[in-house]
Amino acid sequence: MTEKILSEKNRVVRHSRLELIEHWAIAISGLILLATGIFELPVAKRYYIITVPGLGWTADFITSLYLHYAAALVFTAAGIFHLVYHGGARGETGLLPQKGDMKASVTVIKSLFGFGQEPPMHKYLPEQRWAYVGMALIIAMLIVSGLIKTYKNLYAPDLSLAIVLTATWIHNICFVLFFLAFLAHMAAILLRPNWPMVRGIFTGNVRLDYARHRHALWIADLEKNEKSVDP
């Protein structure tokens, strides 16, 4: 069990090293995919991006494709790893929406803006679980459509036009949704009550007093488990 209360340090371990690697692999490769995806559109010359020092390469679609493929390799492998390892091998379901999450999400979001009290929460917030499913679906669609497009580029330029158009438009639409989801993810960080969680995604642990206050159900679970294993 990775999650652990470190009372003497006023910390609780929220993410394992492996989870941090997964998160950052997907985040960094995802950002490279977003940028190089934009540069696969004819925008660099038109919008004078090529005049920015260091960005002269952005008008070269083949250079962008090298980077896009390199990032896609990491993104796809990390995405599949995440799904199979956490969902399959370890059977972890803490990030999947639970009964009552929709109603609880509204309560939490209202409380973030000063209306009402937050309900006691588990490790993940109810709206965080919905956001996770949304992001996972977008990523899955990007991966599947991207793989079809890659196969077409390499082996089948004359693949059925219906398949090519479907993959292309799913990829393009999900590219926009991924960008919006990324902005929403960043916006969530800007909200003050979420600030203590930010250190968790860099170091793996968060402040125990914060967790006791906001993730009371999670801490209660951890303390129950710790007591049960004590001799």
Partner 1 sequence: MRISAGAAALTGIHLPKTARAEAAGSLATLIDLSLCDGCADRTMPVCIQACRSINADKIPPVAEHIPEPWPRKTIEDWSKKQDVTNRLTPYNYLYVHRAEVTVDGRSQTLFVPRRCMHCDNPACATICPFSANHKNQNGAVVINPNQCFGGAKCRDVCPWEIPQRQSGVGIYLHVLPDFMGNGVMYKCDLCNDRLKEGKKPGCIEACPRGAMLIGPKKEIEAQAQARSSKINGHIYGQKENGGTATLYVSPVSFELLNQTMIRKPGQPDMKPGVERRMAGTDPLGKAVLASPVLGLALAGVAGWFSRRRDRKTRQEEDHD
**CB neighbour class for 229 (10 Å; exposed up to 12, middle 13-18, buried from 19):** exposed
Among 81, 132, 179, 182, binds partner 1 (CB under 8 A): 81
Q: Looking at 66-74, 97-105, 195-203, 206-214, which segment touches partner 1 (CB under 8 A)?
A: 66-74
Q: φ, ψ for residue 48 (rounded to 5)?
A: 60, 25
Min dist CB 80 to partner 1, Å, is 3
58: which residues sit within 8 A by CB, 6+ positions away? 39, 44, 49, 50, 64
Residue 41 as a binder of partner 1 (CB under 8 A): the answer is yes
- The number of CA neighbours under 13 Å toward the Cβ of 69 is 11
Yes or no: say if 205 and 11 are a contact pair by the CB < 8 Å rule. yes
Measured CA to CA, the distance from residue 124 to residue 133 in angstroms comes to 13
Nearer to partner 1 (CB atom), residue 50 or residue 201: 50
Looking at the Cβ atoms of 114 and 231, the one nearer to partner 1 is 231
Of 115-123, 139-147, 201-209, 219-227, which part binds partner 1 (CB under 8 A)? 139-147
Give the E-state strand segments of the chain in sequence order.
Answer: 4-6, 11-13, 205-207
Q: Which 161-200 residues touch partner 1, going by CB under 8 A?
A: 161, 164-165, 168-169, 172
Task: Kindly state whether residue 152 participates in binding partner 1, applying the rule CB under 8 A.
Answer: yes
Q: Where on the chain is the footprint of partner 1 (CB under 8 A)?
A: 1, 18, 40-42, 45-48, 59, 61-62, 65-66, 69-70, 72-74, 76-81, 83-85, 88-90, 143, 146-147, 150-158, 161, 164-165, 168-169, 172, 229, 231
